[in-house]
Amino acid sequence: MKEFDNILVETRGRVGLITLNRPDAFNALNAALLRELMQALQAFDADEDVGAMVVAGNEKAFAAGADIAEMADATAVEILRSGRIDLFDAVMTIKKPVIAAVSGWCLGGGCELAMSLDMIVASERARFGQPEINLGVIPGAGGTQRLTRAVGKVLAMEMVLNNRHLTAEEALHYGLVNKVSPVETYLEDAIKLADQIAARAPLAVQAAKAMVNHAFESHLRDGLADERRAFYLLFATEDQKEGMTAFLEKRDPDWKGR
Ligand code: CO8
């Protein structure tokens, strides 16, 4: 993959690892970083040797939000035309699972980015918040919507209206994160989780991700009908035959992604 200015990219086995790399600004999400992040996610999504991805920051910050210096003087029309927020929407087009590995500050657009990915492994030092109210604005990339679905109305209200932060343990308690790990191991734990998923039947993993996400956007009856169609369709894959045969033959399956 090509070199980037604001992110680092590498593979660990079948896991694509993207590290946000603006440490001097707590990984504040400027437009260039967001564009590079999307390019890297899309490149890994298209790479058959990658089964899942991890997006990480560093120990002090996953990301402290959108880059305030870049936005401070913008007009409404400039912000609209810049397409920055559209880059968050583009994350939703990624088919393979993406796990956020979060330590330190995970604020504003950083929290919105983590929530727009599929799972979150947090270090014990992670702090989640939507502090936009302090800047005279509100979350603009899903904070009022995804946070409310994740933690419920009253806590989301407190976080968005009054800048209440969540510790990692609180985030686990309220269902915002999957797991809290020591700061020394959170990244490896996120990669391990991604690695386990990357070893599973690829087409079934992608269908499963799509259907869980679908649950947020559809009525139950429509979601159930779409899930059933995806289930039927997987019987057209070689991996379904292999998975069920391997179970009956009491051996490990050999997934082909076909
Ligand atoms: N944008 C730009 N620079 C930042 C940001 C940021 N979000 N956060 C930190 N920095 C910079 C600081 O300016 C400072 O730079 P310098 O050393 O050059 O002065 C450096 O990072 C270190 O920051 P501090 O000195 O403030 O460090 P502290 O340890 O005292 O505080 C905090 C750390 C608490 C993280 C503090 O920096 C802070 O409150 N940051 C801002 C958090 C915030 O308000 N985030 C929300 C931003 S708005 C947003 O995300 C809206 C998203 C909408 C959609 C997305 C569109 C792209």
Residues 80-117 pLDDT 10s: 998 888 888 889 999 999 999 999 999 999 999 999 99
Is the distance from the beta carbon of residue 128 to the nearest atom of ligand 1 less than 6 Å? Answer: no
Tell me the average pLDDT across 135-144.
Answer: 96
| Segment 30-54, tens digit of pLDDT | 999 999 999 999 999 999 999 999 9
At residue 1, does pLDDT exceed 80?
Answer: no
Average pLDDT, the chain: 96
Q: Whose CA is nearest to atom 13 of ligand 1?
A: 25
Torsions phi, psi for 52 (to 5 deg): -160, 165
| Segment 211-246, tens digit of pLDDT | 999 999 899 999 999 999 999 999 999 999 999 999
List, by residue number, the catalytic residues. 66, 109, 112, 132
Q: Whose CA is nearest to atom 22 of ligand 1?
A: 25
Tell me the average pLDDT across 60-72.
Answer: 96
Please state whether the predicted TM-score (pTM) of the whole model is above 0.85: yes
In what order do the strands lie in the sheet containing 119-123? 7-12, 15-20, 52-56, 98-102, 119-123, 179-181
DSSP-derived letter for residue 87 is H
| Segment 109-139, tens digit of pLDDT | 999 999 999 999 999 999 999 999 999 999 9
**Measured between alpha carbons, how far is 237 from 156 in angstroms, rounded to an integer?**
42
Q: Ligand 1 test: best mutation among 34, 58, 67, 68, most atoms within 8 Å of CB?
A: 68
Report how far ligand 1's centroid is from the alpha carbon of 71 (Å): 12
Report how far ligand 1's centroid is from the alpha carbon of 113 (Å): 15
Q: Ligand 1 test: best mutation among 26, 59, 82, most atoms within 8 Å of CB?
A: 26
At residue 146, does pLDDT exceed 80?
Answer: yes
* Percent of residues, the chain, with pLDDT higher than 70: 100
Report how far ligand 1's centroid is from the alpha carbon of 32 (Å): 17
Is the distance from the beta carbon of residue 30 to the nearest atom of ligand 1 less than 6 Å? Answer: no
At residue 3, does pLDDT exceed 80?
Answer: yes
**Residue with the two structure tokens 């005279």:** 136
Tell me the average pLDDT across 161-180.
Answer: 98
pLDDT at 88: 85
Spatial contact of 67 and 32, defined as CB atoms under 8 Å apart: no
Report how far ligand 1's centroid is from the alpha carbon of 112 (Å): 15
Is the distance from the beta carbon of residue 115 to the nearest atom of ligand 1 less than 6 Å? Answer: no
pLDDT at 112: 98
pLDDT at 132: 97
C-alpha 188 chain-centroid distance: 16
Nearest CA among 33, 9, 35 for reference residue 22: 33
